[in-house]
Amino acid sequence: MEVQLQKMIESSKRIVFLGGAGVSTESGIPDFRSPQGLYAALTEYGYLAEEIISAGFFKKHTSTFFDYYKKNLVHRDAEPNGAHRALVRLEKTGKLSGIITQNIDGLHQKAGSSDVIELHGSIHRNYCTECGKFFDLDYIMNEDNCKDKVPYCDECGSLIKPDVVLYDEELDAELLGRATDLIKKADMLIIGGTSMSVYPAAGLAEHFNGNKLVVINKSTTRYDSEADLVINGPIGRVLDQIQI
């Protein structure tokens, strides 16, 4: 199957990669939507993970939100894996039109990718909810800038919010538009590390008009039946074997 993937990449000119949580699990970042992650949140906090990282919970239980967020969604020691590195190599050939990710960890950029659309935002960007000043990750993780885990602006003293899309919040329309346009123009779409079950990101692949659709994921996805190639395995291992 890897040989077939190799040939498909070689014959393509405009490749788009659409990835999810599975791209980062090989870097040691757990998927909070997994049964283990959901159980852990319920056991420690008494809430489901989706509840804790919702916009409503952020407003009502800000301290608990940040306690969970800092422990479970921020992984500063994580390093890019084979998938991230392979995509950097592919970008250098000029064949990769862009990366669309549902992840917020910034590992694609850390690996060296330059054209990354972060649909759900990034842990590395944080902003004051009042004056709009931006802060990096180190600032909000520094307890000297926080009160009971909650970071506050050093300019106006107001609450800082991570620049990530929480449950009950809509994705940025401009980013969705850019992602849709990329996929429409692609001749090859690689869906990796995602079951494609979370909307609206899951619907992006419906805009693909090319002739090479590839799915690389450990479990089945809703696009398996439409794909020209399906590889069930860890995406880091699969992509790292490709000669680019």
Q: What is the mean pLDDT of each run of 10 residues along the chain (244 residues)?
A: 91 97 93 67 90 97 97 95 97 97 97 97 98 98 97 98 96 96 98 88 92 95 94 94 84
Q: What is the pLDDT of residue 38?
A: 60
Rounded to whole angstroms, how far apart are CA atoms 105 and 162? 12
Token pair of 89, please? 């190599």
Alpha-carbon separation of residue 189 from 13, 78, 107 (angstroms) = 11, 26, 20
Q: What is the pLDDT of residue 1?
A: 73
Q: What is the pLDDT of residue 197?
A: 81
Rounded to whole angstroms, how far apart are CA atoms 1 and 238? 9
Q: What is the pLDDT of residue 31?
A: 78
Walk me through the domains of the chain, giving residue ranges and CATH numbers.
2-29+78-120+170-240 (3.40.50.1220), 30-74 (no CATH), 124-164 (3.30.1600.10)
Q: The whole model's pTM is what?
A: 0.94
Rounded to whole angstroms, how far apart are CA atoms 241 and 152? 45
Q: What is the pLDDT of residue 98?
A: 97
**Given the residues 75, 84, 108, 120, the one annotated as active site:** 120
Rounded to whole angstroms, how far apart are CA atoms 68 and 73? 8
pLDDT digits (tens, 9 = 90+) for 42-70: 889 999 999 999 999 999 999 999 999 99
- Assess whether 120 carries a catalytic annotation: yes
> What number of other Cβ atoms are within 10 A of residue 35's Cβ?
8
